[in-house]
Structure 1
Amino acid sequence: MLLRLPASVPEAQECMAAGAVPVGGATLVWAVWQRDGFPEQAMSLRNLPEANAVAHDGLGAAVVLNRVDDRVPEVLRRAAATVGTGAVRRTATVGGNLVGSTLRCLLPAALVLDARATVLERDRTHESPLAEVVAKQPLLLGIRWREPVASSYRKLPAEPGGPPPLVVAAAVHDEGGGRRHLRVAVRDGYDVLSDDVTCDGDTGQAVRTMNEGTVGTLHPEARDVVTQQVTDLLTRAADI
Protein backbone atom coordinates (compact mmCIF):
# COMPACT_ATOMS: atom_id res chain seq x y z
CA MET A 1 0.00 0.00 0.00
CA LEU A 2 1.26 3.47 -0.95
CA LEU A 3 0.56 6.09 1.72
CA ARG A 4 0.29 9.57 0.24
CA LEU A 5 0.81 12.68 2.39
CA PRO A 6 -0.47 15.76 0.54
CA ALA A 7 0.74 19.12 1.84
CA SER A 8 -1.85 21.29 0.07
CA VAL A 9 -5.50 21.13 -0.89
CA PRO A 10 -4.72 20.71 -4.64
CA GLU A 11 -2.37 17.82 -3.81
CA ALA A 12 -5.07 16.20 -1.70
CA GLN A 13 -7.54 16.56 -4.56
CA GLU A 14 -5.05 14.91 -6.90
CA CYS A 15 -4.78 12.00 -4.47
CA MET A 16 -8.57 11.70 -4.35
CA ALA A 17 -8.74 11.68 -8.15
CA ALA A 18 -6.15 8.89 -8.18
CA GLY A 19 -8.34 6.77 -5.90
CA ALA A 20 -6.42 7.17 -2.62
CA VAL A 21 -8.51 6.08 0.38
CA PRO A 22 -8.56 8.46 3.40
CA VAL A 23 -6.88 6.79 6.36
CA GLY A 24 -7.39 9.25 9.23
CA GLY A 25 -5.61 7.94 12.30
CA ALA A 26 -6.09 4.34 11.10
CA THR A 27 -7.68 3.35 14.41
CA LEU A 28 -10.91 2.36 12.65
CA VAL A 29 -9.83 1.08 9.24
CA TRP A 30 -6.73 -0.93 10.05
CA ALA A 31 -8.53 -4.02 11.32
CA VAL A 32 -10.89 -3.92 8.33
CA TRP A 33 -7.96 -3.71 5.91
CA GLN A 34 -6.20 -6.59 7.64
CA ARG A 35 -9.34 -8.66 7.19
CA ASP A 36 -10.42 -7.54 3.70
CA GLY A 37 -7.14 -6.46 2.12
CA PHE A 38 -5.26 -3.19 1.84
CA PRO A 39 -6.04 -0.58 -0.83
CA GLU A 40 -3.40 0.27 -3.42
CA GLN A 41 -3.25 3.86 -2.18
CA ALA A 42 -4.18 5.55 1.07
CA MET A 43 -4.07 9.21 2.01
CA SER A 44 -3.40 10.93 5.32
CA LEU A 45 -4.06 14.65 5.86
CA ARG A 46 -1.51 14.93 8.68
CA ASN A 47 0.74 17.21 6.58
CA LEU A 48 -2.09 19.42 5.36
CA PRO A 49 -2.15 22.72 7.32
CA GLU A 50 -5.91 23.25 6.94
CA ALA A 51 -6.57 19.84 8.46
CA ASN A 52 -4.29 20.40 11.46
CA ALA A 53 -5.58 23.73 12.82
CA VAL A 54 -6.48 24.07 16.50
CA ALA A 55 -8.21 27.36 17.38
CA HIS A 56 -10.89 28.84 19.63
CA ASP A 57 -13.40 28.55 16.78
CA GLY A 58 -12.26 25.57 14.74
CA LEU A 59 -10.50 22.19 14.54
CA GLY A 60 -8.90 20.41 11.61
CA ALA A 61 -9.99 16.90 10.74
CA ALA A 62 -6.46 15.47 11.08
CA VAL A 63 -5.97 16.77 14.62
CA VAL A 64 -5.42 13.83 16.96
CA LEU A 65 -7.65 13.85 20.00
CA ASN A 66 -4.91 14.38 22.58
CA ARG A 67 -4.13 17.74 20.89
CA VAL A 68 -7.64 19.05 21.62
CA ASP A 69 -6.81 21.39 24.50
CA ASP A 70 -8.06 24.51 26.27
CA ARG A 71 -7.94 26.53 23.06
CA VAL A 72 -11.34 25.01 22.23
CA PRO A 73 -14.60 25.21 24.24
CA GLU A 74 -14.95 23.03 27.32
CA VAL A 75 -17.61 20.79 25.78
CA LEU A 76 -15.37 19.73 22.91
CA ARG A 77 -12.25 19.41 25.03
CA ARG A 78 -14.00 17.12 27.51
CA ALA A 79 -15.54 15.07 24.72
CA ALA A 80 -12.14 14.41 23.15
CA ALA A 81 -10.62 13.53 26.53
CA THR A 82 -13.15 10.72 27.11
CA VAL A 83 -12.59 8.86 23.83
CA GLY A 84 -10.92 5.48 24.34
CA THR A 85 -7.56 5.18 26.05
CA GLY A 86 -4.55 7.47 25.98
CA ALA A 87 -3.05 5.34 23.23
CA VAL A 88 -6.20 5.71 21.14
CA ARG A 89 -6.31 9.49 21.65
CA ARG A 90 -2.71 9.78 20.41
CA THR A 91 -3.73 8.37 17.02
CA ALA A 92 -7.50 8.85 16.57
CA THR A 93 -8.47 12.02 14.72
CA VAL A 94 -11.31 14.51 14.87
CA GLY A 95 -12.42 13.59 11.36
CA GLY A 96 -12.27 9.87 12.00
CA ASN A 97 -14.44 10.20 15.09
CA LEU A 98 -17.06 12.38 13.42
CA VAL A 99 -17.22 10.62 10.06
CA GLY A 100 -15.85 7.10 10.47
CA SER A 101 -16.96 6.07 13.96
CA THR A 102 -20.35 4.60 14.83
CA LEU A 103 -20.04 6.07 18.35
CA ARG A 104 -19.23 9.65 17.21
CA CYS A 105 -18.31 10.83 20.72
CA LEU A 106 -17.51 14.32 19.40
CA LEU A 107 -20.78 14.77 17.54
CA PRO A 108 -22.97 15.94 20.47
CA ALA A 109 -20.30 18.51 21.39
CA ALA A 110 -20.04 19.74 17.80
CA LEU A 111 -23.83 20.00 17.50
CA VAL A 112 -24.25 22.21 20.56
CA LEU A 113 -21.52 24.50 19.23
CA ASP A 114 -23.61 24.89 16.06
CA ALA A 115 -20.58 23.65 14.12
CA ARG A 116 -20.39 23.38 10.35
CA ALA A 117 -18.08 21.09 8.44
CA THR A 118 -15.63 22.01 5.71
CA VAL A 119 -15.67 19.22 3.13
CA LEU A 120 -13.01 18.44 0.53
CA GLU A 121 -14.14 17.24 -2.88
CA ARG A 122 -12.13 16.59 -6.04
CA ASP A 123 -12.90 20.03 -7.51
CA ARG A 124 -13.76 22.25 -4.55
CA THR A 125 -14.11 22.75 -0.82
CA HIS A 126 -17.41 23.76 0.73
CA GLU A 127 -19.27 24.04 4.00
CA SER A 128 -21.84 21.42 4.91
CA PRO A 129 -24.20 20.79 7.85
CA LEU A 130 -22.92 18.17 10.28
CA ALA A 131 -25.98 15.97 9.77
CA GLU A 132 -25.16 15.74 6.06
CA VAL A 133 -21.52 14.90 6.80
CA VAL A 134 -22.52 12.09 9.17
CA ALA A 135 -24.94 10.67 6.60
CA LYS A 136 -22.74 10.92 3.49
CA GLN A 137 -19.28 10.49 5.10
CA PRO A 138 -17.30 12.76 2.76
CA LEU A 139 -13.65 13.73 3.24
CA LEU A 140 -13.66 16.19 6.12
CA LEU A 141 -11.15 19.05 6.29
CA GLY A 142 -12.35 20.46 9.59
CA ILE A 143 -15.16 22.03 11.59
CA ARG A 144 -15.86 25.60 12.66
CA TRP A 145 -18.30 26.84 15.29
CA ARG A 146 -19.67 29.79 17.21
CA GLU A 147 -17.81 30.33 20.47
CA PRO A 148 -20.31 29.84 23.32
CA VAL A 149 -20.78 31.75 26.55
CA ALA A 150 -20.37 28.48 28.46
CA SER A 151 -20.58 24.76 27.72
CA SER A 152 -20.46 21.38 29.43
CA TYR A 153 -20.11 17.67 28.64
CA ARG A 154 -20.84 14.49 30.54
CA LYS A 155 -20.38 10.85 29.62
CA LEU A 156 -21.81 8.30 32.02
CA PRO A 157 -19.78 5.22 33.03
CA ALA A 158 -20.39 2.09 31.00
CA GLU A 159 -19.62 -1.60 31.27
CA PRO A 160 -16.87 -2.83 28.90
CA GLY A 161 -18.46 -4.49 25.89
CA GLY A 162 -21.88 -3.13 26.81
CA PRO A 163 -24.04 -0.55 25.04
CA PRO A 164 -22.58 2.93 24.44
CA PRO A 165 -22.80 5.17 27.50
CA LEU A 166 -25.17 8.12 27.66
CA VAL A 167 -23.52 11.37 26.54
CA VAL A 168 -24.90 14.84 27.28
CA ALA A 169 -23.50 18.02 25.72
CA ALA A 170 -24.85 21.53 26.23
CA ALA A 171 -23.85 25.08 25.37
CA VAL A 172 -25.24 28.56 25.95
CA HIS A 173 -24.88 31.05 23.09
CA ASP A 174 -25.20 34.83 23.14
CA GLU A 175 -27.64 35.94 20.44
CA GLY A 176 -27.17 39.67 21.06
CA GLY A 177 -29.58 42.16 22.55
CA GLY A 178 -29.49 40.38 25.89
CA ARG A 179 -30.88 37.17 24.39
CA ARG A 180 -29.35 33.76 24.93
CA HIS A 181 -29.95 30.34 23.44
CA LEU A 182 -29.39 26.90 24.95
CA ARG A 183 -28.42 24.01 22.68
CA VAL A 184 -28.49 20.42 23.98
CA ALA A 185 -27.40 17.18 22.30
CA VAL A 186 -27.68 13.67 23.72
CA ARG A 187 -26.24 10.37 22.53
CA ASP A 188 -28.54 7.62 23.76
CA GLY A 189 -27.25 4.28 22.50
CA TYR A 190 -26.15 4.90 18.93
CA ASP A 191 -28.72 7.63 18.34
CA VAL A 192 -27.99 11.34 18.73
CA LEU A 193 -30.81 13.80 19.30
CA SER A 194 -30.59 17.55 19.78
CA ASP A 195 -32.74 20.51 20.65
CA ASP A 196 -32.43 24.23 21.34
CA VAL A 197 -34.46 26.64 23.46
CA THR A 198 -34.37 30.28 24.46
CA CYS A 199 -32.91 30.89 27.93
CA ASP A 200 -33.68 34.41 29.18
CA GLY A 201 -32.48 33.99 32.74
CA ASP A 202 -35.29 31.78 34.01
CA THR A 203 -33.50 28.45 34.43
CA GLY A 204 -36.63 26.57 35.45
CA GLN A 205 -38.58 27.71 32.41
CA ALA A 206 -35.72 26.85 30.05
CA VAL A 207 -35.53 23.34 31.51
CA ARG A 208 -39.30 22.87 31.26
CA THR A 209 -39.30 24.01 27.64
CA MET A 210 -36.40 21.66 26.86
CA ASN A 211 -38.26 18.71 28.39
CA GLU A 212 -41.31 19.48 26.24
CA GLY A 213 -39.20 18.95 23.11
CA THR A 214 -37.00 16.16 21.83
CA VAL A 215 -35.26 15.69 25.19
CA GLY A 216 -38.64 14.80 26.68
CA THR A 217 -38.71 11.63 24.58
CA LEU A 218 -35.76 10.15 26.49
CA HIS A 219 -36.29 7.51 29.15
CA PRO A 220 -36.70 9.02 32.64
CA GLU A 221 -33.19 8.22 33.90
CA ALA A 222 -31.57 9.87 30.89
CA ARG A 223 -33.93 12.84 31.13
CA ASP A 224 -32.93 13.35 34.76
CA VAL A 225 -29.23 13.38 33.81
CA VAL A 226 -29.87 15.94 31.06
CA THR A 227 -31.96 18.12 33.36
CA GLN A 228 -29.24 18.20 36.02
CA GLN A 229 -26.51 18.91 33.47
CA VAL A 230 -28.47 21.76 31.89
CA THR A 231 -29.48 23.26 35.23
CA ASP A 232 -25.84 23.34 36.37
CA LEU A 233 -24.73 24.92 33.07
CA LEU A 234 -27.42 27.62 33.10
CA THR A 235 -26.60 28.47 36.72
CA ARG A 236 -22.92 28.85 35.79
CA ALA A 237 -23.68 30.83 32.64
CA ALA A 238 -25.83 33.29 34.58
CA ASP A 239 -22.66 34.61 36.25
CA ILE A 240 -20.85 35.19 32.94
Structure 2
Amino acid sequence: MLLRLPESVSEAQECMAEGAVPIGGATLVWAGWQQDGFPAQAMSLRNLPEANVIARGTLGSAVVLNRIDDRVPEVLAHAAATVGTGAVRRTATVGGNLVGSTLRCLLPAALVLDARATVLDQDRVYETDLAEVLAKRHLLLSLHWRDPLTSSYRKLPGEAGGPPPLVVAAAVRTGDGGRNRLHVAVRDGYDVLTDSVGCDAGSDEAIDSLADTSIGTLEPAAWGAVREHVTHLLARPVSR
Protein backbone atom coordinates (compact mmCIF):
# COMPACT_ATOMS: atom_id res chain seq x y z
CA MET A 1 0.00 0.00 0.00
CA LEU A 2 1.28 3.46 -0.96
CA LEU A 3 0.62 6.07 1.74
CA ARG A 4 0.33 9.55 0.28
CA LEU A 5 0.85 12.68 2.40
CA PRO A 6 -0.37 15.72 0.47
CA GLU A 7 0.90 19.11 1.63
CA SER A 8 -1.63 21.26 -0.23
CA VAL A 9 -5.31 21.13 -1.13
CA SER A 10 -4.49 20.63 -4.80
CA GLU A 11 -2.25 17.66 -3.96
CA ALA A 12 -5.00 16.15 -1.81
CA GLN A 13 -7.47 16.53 -4.67
CA GLU A 14 -5.03 14.81 -6.99
CA CYS A 15 -4.77 11.92 -4.51
CA MET A 16 -8.56 11.66 -4.36
CA ALA A 17 -8.82 11.66 -8.15
CA GLU A 18 -6.33 8.79 -8.29
CA GLY A 19 -8.33 6.70 -5.82
CA ALA A 20 -6.39 7.17 -2.57
CA VAL A 21 -8.49 6.17 0.44
CA PRO A 22 -8.55 8.63 3.39
CA ILE A 23 -7.40 6.92 6.60
CA GLY A 24 -7.79 9.49 9.39
CA GLY A 25 -5.65 8.23 12.24
CA ALA A 26 -5.99 4.64 10.95
CA THR A 27 -7.21 3.45 14.37
CA LEU A 28 -10.46 2.15 12.85
CA VAL A 29 -9.51 1.01 9.35
CA TRP A 30 -6.34 -0.93 10.01
CA ALA A 31 -7.93 -4.05 11.48
CA GLY A 32 -10.42 -4.20 8.61
CA TRP A 33 -7.69 -3.88 6.04
CA GLN A 34 -5.68 -6.64 7.69
CA GLN A 35 -8.70 -8.89 7.30
CA ASP A 36 -10.05 -7.75 3.94
CA GLY A 37 -6.93 -6.52 2.17
CA PHE A 38 -5.18 -3.19 1.87
CA PRO A 39 -6.04 -0.58 -0.79
CA ALA A 40 -3.46 0.26 -3.41
CA GLN A 41 -3.25 3.86 -2.12
CA ALA A 42 -4.17 5.58 1.14
CA MET A 43 -4.06 9.24 2.04
CA SER A 44 -3.38 10.99 5.35
CA LEU A 45 -3.99 14.73 5.84
CA ARG A 46 -1.45 15.00 8.65
CA ASN A 47 0.82 17.24 6.52
CA LEU A 48 -1.98 19.44 5.18
CA PRO A 49 -2.00 22.81 7.02
CA GLU A 50 -5.74 23.38 6.57
CA ALA A 51 -6.46 20.09 8.34
CA ASN A 52 -4.16 20.73 11.31
CA VAL A 53 -5.47 24.01 12.71
CA ILE A 54 -6.38 24.40 16.40
CA ALA A 55 -7.68 27.87 17.20
CA ARG A 56 -10.66 29.66 18.64
CA GLY A 57 -13.57 28.67 16.45
CA THR A 58 -11.63 26.24 14.26
CA LEU A 59 -10.44 22.64 14.53
CA GLY A 60 -8.76 20.68 11.74
CA SER A 61 -9.80 17.17 10.82
CA ALA A 62 -6.26 15.75 11.05
CA VAL A 63 -5.72 16.97 14.61
CA VAL A 64 -5.15 14.00 16.92
CA LEU A 65 -7.47 13.96 19.92
CA ASN A 66 -4.81 14.34 22.61
CA ARG A 67 -3.77 17.71 21.11
CA ILE A 68 -7.20 19.24 21.69
CA ASP A 69 -7.03 21.69 24.59
CA ASP A 70 -8.68 24.80 26.02
CA ARG A 71 -8.38 26.65 22.73
CA VAL A 72 -11.70 24.97 21.91
CA PRO A 73 -14.89 25.08 24.03
CA GLU A 74 -15.07 22.84 27.08
CA VAL A 75 -17.71 20.58 25.53
CA LEU A 76 -15.42 19.68 22.64
CA ALA A 77 -12.23 19.37 24.69
CA HIS A 78 -13.91 17.06 27.20
CA ALA A 79 -15.44 14.97 24.45
CA ALA A 80 -12.00 14.38 22.94
CA ALA A 81 -10.51 13.55 26.35
CA THR A 82 -13.00 10.71 26.90
CA VAL A 83 -12.37 8.84 23.64
CA GLY A 84 -10.74 5.45 24.15
CA THR A 85 -7.39 5.15 25.88
CA GLY A 86 -4.42 7.47 25.90
CA ALA A 87 -2.84 5.40 23.15
CA VAL A 88 -5.96 5.77 21.01
CA ARG A 89 -6.12 9.54 21.57
CA ARG A 90 -2.51 9.89 20.43
CA THR A 91 -3.42 8.56 16.98
CA ALA A 92 -7.18 9.00 16.47
CA THR A 93 -8.16 12.16 14.58
CA VAL A 94 -11.12 14.51 14.59
CA GLY A 95 -12.13 13.49 11.08
CA GLY A 96 -11.75 9.80 11.79
CA ASN A 97 -13.95 10.04 14.88
CA LEU A 98 -16.68 12.07 13.22
CA VAL A 99 -16.81 10.47 9.78
CA GLY A 100 -15.12 7.09 10.13
CA SER A 101 -16.52 5.94 13.47
CA THR A 102 -19.93 4.51 14.36
CA LEU A 103 -19.58 5.87 17.93
CA ARG A 104 -18.80 9.47 16.89
CA CYS A 105 -17.99 10.62 20.40
CA LEU A 106 -17.30 14.15 19.14
CA LEU A 107 -20.60 14.49 17.30
CA PRO A 108 -22.83 15.59 20.23
CA ALA A 109 -20.28 18.28 21.12
CA ALA A 110 -20.07 19.50 17.52
CA LEU A 111 -23.87 19.59 17.26
CA VAL A 112 -24.43 21.79 20.32
CA LEU A 113 -21.81 24.19 18.95
CA ASP A 114 -23.76 24.28 15.66
CA ALA A 115 -20.45 23.52 13.97
CA ARG A 116 -20.13 23.83 10.23
CA ALA A 117 -17.80 21.68 8.17
CA THR A 118 -15.33 22.60 5.47
CA VAL A 119 -15.00 19.62 3.15
CA LEU A 120 -12.78 18.67 0.25
CA ASP A 121 -14.11 17.41 -3.06
CA GLN A 122 -12.11 16.52 -6.13
CA ASP A 123 -12.80 19.89 -7.73
CA ARG A 124 -13.67 22.28 -4.88
CA VAL A 125 -13.53 23.13 -1.20
CA TYR A 126 -16.83 24.18 0.34
CA GLU A 127 -18.75 24.54 3.59
CA THR A 128 -21.71 22.41 4.61
CA ASP A 129 -23.51 21.09 7.67
CA LEU A 130 -22.64 18.00 9.67
CA ALA A 131 -25.70 16.09 8.49
CA GLU A 132 -24.45 16.19 4.91
CA VAL A 133 -20.91 15.25 5.96
CA LEU A 134 -22.14 12.16 7.78
CA ALA A 135 -24.69 11.14 5.17
CA LYS A 136 -22.29 11.44 2.24
CA ARG A 137 -19.08 10.64 4.15
CA HIS A 138 -17.30 13.69 2.78
CA LEU A 139 -13.58 14.22 3.31
CA LEU A 140 -13.59 16.64 6.23
CA LEU A 141 -10.98 19.41 6.31
CA SER A 142 -12.07 21.33 9.42
CA LEU A 143 -14.87 22.35 11.76
CA HIS A 144 -15.90 25.94 12.46
CA TRP A 145 -18.20 27.45 15.11
CA ARG A 146 -18.94 30.54 17.17
CA ASP A 147 -17.85 30.05 20.76
CA PRO A 148 -20.74 29.47 23.20
CA LEU A 149 -21.30 31.37 26.42
CA THR A 150 -20.77 28.14 28.35
CA SER A 151 -20.75 24.42 27.59
CA SER A 152 -20.20 21.01 29.15
CA TYR A 153 -19.96 17.32 28.27
CA ARG A 154 -20.58 14.12 30.17
CA LYS A 155 -20.07 10.49 29.21
CA LEU A 156 -21.66 8.04 31.64
CA PRO A 157 -19.81 4.86 32.62
CA GLY A 158 -20.31 1.96 30.25
CA GLU A 159 -19.90 -1.79 30.49
CA ALA A 160 -17.04 -3.45 28.62
CA GLY A 161 -18.47 -5.11 25.55
CA GLY A 162 -21.84 -3.49 26.19
CA PRO A 163 -23.72 -0.79 24.31
CA PRO A 164 -22.10 2.64 23.86
CA PRO A 165 -22.33 4.70 27.06
CA LEU A 166 -24.79 7.56 27.21
CA VAL A 167 -23.32 10.93 26.25
CA VAL A 168 -24.83 14.32 27.09
CA ALA A 169 -23.47 17.52 25.56
CA ALA A 170 -24.88 20.98 26.18
CA ALA A 171 -24.05 24.58 25.35
CA VAL A 172 -25.64 27.98 25.87
CA ARG A 173 -25.46 30.25 22.85
CA THR A 174 -26.95 33.64 22.10
CA GLY A 175 -29.68 33.33 19.52
CA ASP A 176 -31.70 35.74 17.43
CA GLY A 177 -32.84 38.81 19.29
CA GLY A 178 -30.05 38.49 21.83
CA ARG A 179 -31.83 35.82 23.88
CA ASN A 180 -29.89 32.81 25.13
CA ARG A 181 -30.74 29.29 24.05
CA LEU A 182 -29.73 25.96 25.52
CA HIS A 183 -28.57 23.42 22.94
CA VAL A 184 -28.50 19.77 24.00
CA ALA A 185 -27.35 16.63 22.16
CA VAL A 186 -27.59 13.10 23.53
CA ARG A 187 -25.98 9.94 22.18
CA ASP A 188 -28.23 7.09 23.25
CA GLY A 189 -26.83 3.84 21.90
CA TYR A 190 -25.83 4.67 18.33
CA ASP A 191 -28.54 7.32 17.92
CA VAL A 192 -27.96 11.02 18.50
CA LEU A 193 -30.82 13.33 19.44
CA THR A 194 -30.44 17.10 19.47
CA ASP A 195 -32.66 20.11 20.12
CA SER A 196 -32.61 23.58 21.63
CA VAL A 197 -34.84 25.63 23.95
CA GLY A 198 -34.84 29.07 25.53
CA CYS A 199 -33.07 29.24 28.87
CA ASP A 200 -33.19 32.86 30.06
CA ALA A 201 -35.94 32.00 32.58
CA GLY A 202 -33.79 29.41 34.37
CA SER A 203 -33.19 25.69 34.46
CA ASP A 204 -36.67 24.57 35.52
CA GLU A 205 -38.37 26.23 32.57
CA ALA A 206 -35.64 25.08 30.18
CA ILE A 207 -36.00 21.48 31.34
CA ASP A 208 -39.80 21.64 31.02
CA SER A 209 -39.39 22.93 27.46
CA LEU A 210 -36.79 20.26 26.67
CA ALA A 211 -39.23 17.59 27.83
CA ASP A 212 -41.48 18.54 24.90
CA THR A 213 -38.73 17.89 22.35
CA SER A 214 -37.36 14.60 21.00
CA ILE A 215 -34.93 14.53 23.94
CA GLY A 216 -37.89 14.25 26.29
CA THR A 217 -38.68 10.83 24.77
CA LEU A 218 -35.55 9.26 26.30
CA GLU A 219 -36.08 6.45 28.81
CA PRO A 220 -36.21 7.63 32.45
CA ALA A 221 -32.58 6.99 33.44
CA ALA A 222 -31.24 8.82 30.39
CA TRP A 223 -33.70 11.69 30.85
CA GLY A 224 -32.60 11.95 34.49
CA ALA A 225 -28.98 12.29 33.37
CA VAL A 226 -29.98 15.05 30.94
CA ARG A 227 -31.92 16.93 33.64
CA GLU A 228 -28.97 16.77 36.03
CA HIS A 229 -26.52 17.88 33.37
CA VAL A 230 -28.65 20.82 32.27
CA THR A 231 -29.28 21.92 35.85
CA HIS A 232 -25.56 22.01 36.62
CA LEU A 233 -24.69 23.81 33.40
CA LEU A 234 -27.31 26.54 33.83
CA ALA A 235 -26.21 27.11 37.42
CA ARG A 236 -22.80 28.24 36.16
CA PRO A 237 -21.85 31.86 35.56
CA VAL A 238 -22.31 32.62 31.89
CA SER A 239 -18.78 32.49 30.47
CA ARG A 240 -16.82 30.30 28.05
**TM-score, normalised with respect to structure 2:** 0.97
CA contact (8 A) 2:149 2:239 kept: no
| Match of residue 59 from structure 2 | 59
Equivalent in the alignment of 1:232:
232
Check if 1:119 corresponds to 2:119. yes
For 2:6, give the aligned amino acid: P
- Aligned equivalents of 2:67 and 2:238: distance in 1? 30
- Matched pairs, number: 240
1:1-240 alignment runs, 5 A limit: 1-175=1-175, 178-238=178-238
User: Once the 2 structures are TM-superposed, how far is the Cα of residue 167 of structure 1 from its aligned partner?
Assistant: 0.1
Q: CA separation in 2, counterparts of 1:121 and 1:202?
A: 44
Relative to structure 1, is the Cα distance of residues 238 and 10 closer, same or farther in structure 2, using a 3 angstrom cutoff? closer
Give yes or no for contact 2:150–2:238 (8 Å, CA) kept in 1. no
Which letter does structure 1 place at the counterpart of 2:180? R
The 1:61/1:219 distance shift into structure 2, 3 A limit, reads same
Summarize the Cα distance change of 1:200–1:167 in structure 2 as closer, same or farther, 3 Å threshold.
same
Q: Give, in angstroms, the shift of residue 239 of structure 1.
A: 7.3
Q: After alignment, is 162-171 or 173-182 more displaced?
A: 173-182
Pair 1:46–1:89, CA change in 2 (3 A): same
**CA distance 1:238–1:148, change in 2 (3 Å):** closer
Question: Structure 1 runs of 4+ off > 3 angstroms?
Answer: 237-240
Supply the AA of the counterpart residue of 1:28: L
Identical aligned pairs, as a percentage? 70
8 Å contact 2:149–2:238 — kept in the other structure? no
Rounded Cα–Cα distance in structure 1 between residues aligned with 2:239 and 2:19 = 53
SS at match of 2:235: helix
Query: Structure 1, unaligned stretches of length 5 or more?
Result: none
How far apart are residue 235 of structure 1 and its match? 1.2
Q: 1:91 to 1:151 in 2, by over 3 A?
A: same
1:31 alignment partner AA: A
CA contact (8 A) 2:118 2:127 kept: yes
The one-letter code matched in structure 2 to 1:185 is A
State the alpha-carbon separation in 1 of the partners of residues 12 and 239 from structure 2: 46
Tell me, yes or no, if the aligned pair for 2:20 and 2:43 is still in contact at 8 Å: yes
Shift of 1:237: 4.0
Contact 2:76 2:110 in 1 (8 A): yes
Query: What is the deviation of 1:238?
Result: 4.7
* C-alpha spacing 1:6/1:238, structure 2 compared with 1 (3 Å): closer
CA pair 204-239 structure 1, distance change in 2 beyond 3 A: farther
CA distance in 2, matches of 1:157, 1:185: 17
Q: Using structure 1 for the length normalisation, give the TM-score.
A: 0.97
User: Do the aligned partners of 1:201 and 1:238 also contact (CA within 8 Å) in 2?
Assistant: no
* Residue pair 2:194, 2:214 contacting (<8 A) in 1 also: yes
Q: Deviations over 1:23-81 (max 9, x none)?
A: 11000100111011111111000000000000110110000000010100000000000
